[in-house]
Structure 1
Amino acid sequence: MTQSSSQTWSQRFESALHPAIAQFNASIFFDIELIEYDITGSQAHAQMLAHTGIISVEEGEQLVKGLEQVRQEYRQGQFTPGVDAEDVHFAVERRLTELVGDVGKKLHTARSRNDQVGTDTRLYLRSQIEQIRGQLRQFQTVMIDLADQHVETLIPGYTHLQRAQPLSLAHHLLAYVAMTQRDWERLGDVYRRVNISPLGSGALAGTTFPIDRHYTAKLLGFDDVYSNSLDGVSDRDFAIEFLAAASVIMVHLSRLSEEIILWASEEFGFVTLKDNCSTGSSIMPQKKNPDVPELVRGKTGRVFGHLQALLTLMKGLPLAYNKDLQEDKEALFDAVKTVQGCLEAMTILMAEGLEFRTARLNSAVAEDFSNATDVADYLATKGVPFREAYNLVGKVVKTSLAAGKLLKDLTLEEWQALHPAFEQDIYGAIAPQQVVSARNSYGGTGFEQVRQALQQARQRLGDV
């Protein structure tokens, strides 16, 4: 390697990097992901240089046009920089200079790679947040449509993974709509702090040139600019916040994945996986494996790791920029791709990859004591103090278990032997459909409440 082809810095250095160190130092292999954002940011910078008179209008136009040519060459596969470029920023600038001549060397006036990479990363993440929020809306739409089909389908509800109370299946599915609504809102909050421009902060102290930072911010669609140049080049809070929000999204997808894995097992049998979203075993021909939810559950830890890695990276860095910050990109890029891939896969799975076994679900809620609380509520409506009713129902369950019966199988004489307040209407009160329907408090699983929740969910999505 010659010095001119391998170094972006000054003639302060007498020799080029050792080839192994050049390879170790280079980020072009992964920060090429930023090339379109780098070009967009550089075009705005060139326009600002011309706008403020730092370069001529003609030179600014040459730079913008040349940068657009670099963009098109990259899109067409004609521009593929390698390790000698070191990073995407130098790669673009070098190719620009090859295209437009010495005027290309003016592009970096009043700018450092420190504020440049910060700008590129924010432009990239801003775009990815918009895409992920769109994917969250698609996922919610699928879940709402699925819930709409199952308002009166019942499913056992669990606490401690023990049968607790029966639920409307729609109510269960809408819980994930509520979770992902918070995710959507959370990313909107993160977006506001991503959408601040560090461009013009320079290496760390600003610049002597009469730049207009608000002009470039406006061109690039930023809401504001960093008011402190040190903070502008060294801040990665926005990336940490994004990874935290991404981790919460993955928590929600992983919880749903775990439930689907359980529901698809022979022990539960609540869903049937379709062939388009499951795989088989290499030696057990009878098996159908829930690969999609298992992979989502596994990839969740990957995103958690990226969050922890960036927190660890940042905790000991003095101001301002340090080369350590090169390590933020692979974590960020991979987390974005992982979340996007998992959202896409889970949306497909829920839309067309599984089928709820409604007969099995409806029978499941009739095979347990999850209506015991309703017996206590029944007695309370008859004037029995709830705590007394609660203790009495415990005795009822104990008696029923000893007799090998469910509550619905007890005769009226057996009920009245336990307490004279029991009447014929006890059977209607503990029927699964009635148990669910009766929970009509706001936000509850009662069918009326669920239908209202569905309508509200669609309104949030702008469907009605």
Structure 2
Amino acid sequence: MALWGGRFTADSSNMFKQVNDSLNFDQAMATQDIQGSIAWAKALYQAGVLSEQEQQQLHSALEDMLTQAQSGALDFAASTEEDIHSFVEAELIEQLGDVGRKLHTGRSRNDQVATDFRLWVKTHVLSLKQDLVQLRRTLLNTASRYQHSILPGYTHLQRAQPIVFGHWCLAYVEMFKRDASRLDDLLVRMDQCPLGSGALAGTTYPVNREVLANELGFASPTLNSLDAVSDRDFVLELLFTASTSMMHLSRLAEDLIFYNSGEAGFIQLGDSVTSGSSLMPQKKNPDALELMRGKCGRVFGALQALLVTMKGLPLAYNKDMQEDKEGAMDTVNQWHCCLCMADEVLQSVTLNEDRCREAAMKGYANATELADYLVGKGIPFRTAHDISGQIVVAAINQDKPIEALPLSELQTLCADIDDDVYAVLNVEYGINKRNNIGGTSFKTVTEALYRELEKMDSEEG
């Protein structure tokens, strides 16, 4: 019989059970549910509800069940229970009889599931933070390997200005640092324990909620029972952070897909992260990157789905909120897989340095340096910009780079140009001039790289 079956004279229909039951997915919270039950049994003993012997019996049985849960030995497939809470309680009743029936005193599945899911999210946030650390480490290693390699930088997918490949790597380091900081923020805001809030109005038993929260690793108890059982902000924040990070991963994938294309040819990807064509023998497709890019949709969808679910719910708990778990659990899995996949892809990357440098020297990317050179001659920037544009047109008409134009021709467009202009038009010159904080000069990139490596060593130490 269901935990709530006393009020009913007929069993649930098979269709209702199919829609209502959640054990097939909330069994993922078995460890957290058992941990919460261990703490609740102790709180009931301290409140005088359970005898010492009863608390010890419950504790021993729950510890055995926890060991089974952690080893994967619990047999969920054979169970007809509605959810993980019913499953755990049914197991206790089978072992302990009426003592098992006492565990749910003063507790509701509403505060129970809110606690379980917070514990589950906390556990996975810590794991995801490690994934982000590993990916940042690999990006830094890649930046170190190619910190002096030149690459064309793009705006509007057109060659804009030369950059250092290490600078490109460090841009993604910044993104994934922000993702990790959002997880840190989430942990702070969700670090309150709902257990003891009851169904919606609190519990009538003298449970010490401060001690209970501490027992479960929370900083404090929640302060409003209505909010505690109906709050899913922590899930939304997790989904938003995952969506933002997946967006970053998708941008990383898009860059690498383009760099790997035959049109660019800047990198080669390892065989272990690419696949072939069933028809065209020559193909080597960046499927890992394309799947990373594609999985954004399902993660974004989970965020939108929960927002829509929550936006019309009155206080307090409503069964609609059972829809919070499958999307979040799938999101955590997809995010984890994509972070690990990105790490593997980056480790497999080989940079075609000659091709990158050649591309960086094309596309008139040194036109900005020419304009800055003219500013140094006392010409107002807007005028210098116009002159530089005219010189680019002249070079395009002759199908030559700017630096291949003779001095005499340059001087017909601007008499202030001298032969020192050719040093300015060198690709390294433009890179090294950008030596302010955040710039792409070799010196700045090297300093940023070692600063990030030291920071990571400090964090991990």
TM-score by length of structure 2 reads 0.97
> Structure 1 residues 402-411 or 111-120, which shifts more?
402-411
Residue aligning to 1:358: 353
Q: Deviations over 1:93-120 (max 9, x none)?
A: 1101212222111111110000000000
Distance 1:62 1:424 in 2: 91
Q: What is the Cα deviation at residue 10 of structure 1? A: 4.1
8 Å CA contact 1:115–1:199 kept in 2: the answer is: yes
8 Å CA contact 2:29–2:116 kept in 1: the answer is: yes
Residue aligning to 1:95: 91
Distance 2:399 2:312 in 1: 64
Residue aligning to 1:416: 411
Distance 1:137 1:293 in 2: 20
In the alignment, residue 146 of structure 1 is paired with which amino acid? T
Does residue 1:39 correspond to 2:34, yes or no? yes
In the alignment, residue 374 of structure 1 is paired with which amino acid? E
Q: What is the Cα deviation at residue 13 of structure 1? A: 0.5
8 Å CA contact 2:79–2:87 kept in 1: the answer is: no
8 Å CA contact 1:51–1:57 kept in 2: the answer is: no
> Structure 1 residues 207-216 or 370-379, which shifts more?
207-216
Does residue 1:166 correspond to 2:168, yes or no? no
Q: What is the Cα deviation at residue 459 of structure 1? A: 2.6
> Structure 1 residues 401-410 or 327-336, which shifts more?
401-410
2:65 is aligned, of 67, 70, 86, to 70
Does residue 1:282 correspond to 2:294, yes or no? no
Q: What is the Cα deviation at residue 383 of structure 1? A: 1.2
8 Å CA contact 1:70–1:79 kept in 2: the answer is: no
Q: What is the Cα deviation at residue 22 of structure 1? A: 1.5
Q: What is the Cα deviation at residue 73 of structure 1? A: 3.2
Does residue 1:180 correspond to 2:165, yes or no? no
Residue aligning to 2:378: 383
8 Å CA contact 1:42–1:107 kept in 2: the answer is: yes
Distance 2:248 2:419 in 1: 44
Does residue 1:240 correspond to 2:236, yes or no? yes
8 Å CA contact 1:23–1:83 kept in 2: the answer is: no
In the alignment, residue 355 of structure 2 is paired with which amino acid? R
1:141 is aligned, of 108, 112, 137, to 137
Secondary structure at 2:350 match in 1: strand
> Structure 1 residues 386-395 or 451-460, which shifts more?
451-460
In the alignment, residue 155 of structure 1 is paired with which amino acid? L
Distance 2:84 2:72 in 1: 17
Structure 1 runs (4+) greater than 2 angstroms displaced:
71-83
Secondary structure at 1:288 match in 2: coil
Residue aligning to 1:157: 153
Secondary structure at 1:15 match in 2: coil
Q: What is the Cα deviation at residue 158 of structure 1? A: 0.7
1:27 is aligned, of 22, 38, 49, to 22
Residue aligning to 1:373: 368
8 Å CA contact 1:135–1:344 kept in 2: the answer is: yes
Distance 1:82 1:215 in 2: 36
Alignment map for 1:198-213 (pairs within 5 Å): 198-213=194-209
Distance 1:391 1:103 in 2: 87
Q: Deviations over 1:221-241 (max 9, x none)?
A: 101211100000000011111
Distance 2:168 2:6 in 1: 66
Does residue 1:220 correspond to 2:216, yes or no? yes
Distance 2:417 2:148 in 1: 28
1:230 is aligned, of 226, 235, 244, to 226
1:450 is aligned, of 445, 451, 455, to 445
8 Å CA contact 1:204–1:233 kept in 2: the answer is: yes
Q: Deviations over 1:239-278 (max 9, x none)?
A: 1111001100001000000111111110010111111110
In the alignment, residue 386 of structure 2 is paired with which amino acid? N
Q: What is the Cα deviation at residue 28 of structure 1? A: 0.4
**Paired-residue identity, %:** 43
Distance 1:100 1:224 in 2: 32
Q: How many pairs are equivalent? A: 458
In the alignment, residue 446 of structure 1 is paired with which amino acid? S
Distance 2:450 2:268 in 1: 28
Residue aligning to 1:195: 191
In the alignment, residue 372 of structure 1 is paired with which amino acid? A
8 Å CA contact 2:266–2:352 kept in 1: the answer is: yes
Q: What is the Cα deviation at residue 83 of structure 1? A: 5.7
Residue aligning to 2:398: 403
Q: Deviations over 1:176-219 (max 9, x none)?
A: 00000000101100111222111000000011111111111001
8 Å CA contact 2:240–2:303 kept in 1: the answer is: yes
Secondary structure at 2:173 match in 1: helix
Distance 2:429 2:382 in 1: 22
Residue aligning to 2:422: 427
In the alignment, residue 367 of structure 1 is paired with which amino acid? K
Secondary structure at 1:22 match in 2: helix
8 Å CA contact 1:26–1:83 kept in 2: the answer is: no
Q: Which sections of structure 2, spanning at least 5 residues, go unmatched?
A: none
Alignment map for 1:103-142 (pairs within 5 Å): 103-142=99-138
Distance 2:203 2:352 in 1: 67
Secondary structure at 2:97 match in 1: helix
Q: Deviations over 1:121-153 (max 9, x none)?
A: 000000111111111010000000110111211
In the alignment, residue 197 of structure 1 is paired with which amino acid? C
Distance 2:79 2:297 in 1: 31
8 Å CA contact 2:27–2:76 kept in 1: the answer is: no
Q: What is the Cα deviation at residue 81 of structure 1? A: 4.9
In the alignment, residue 22 of structure 2 is paired with which amino acid? S
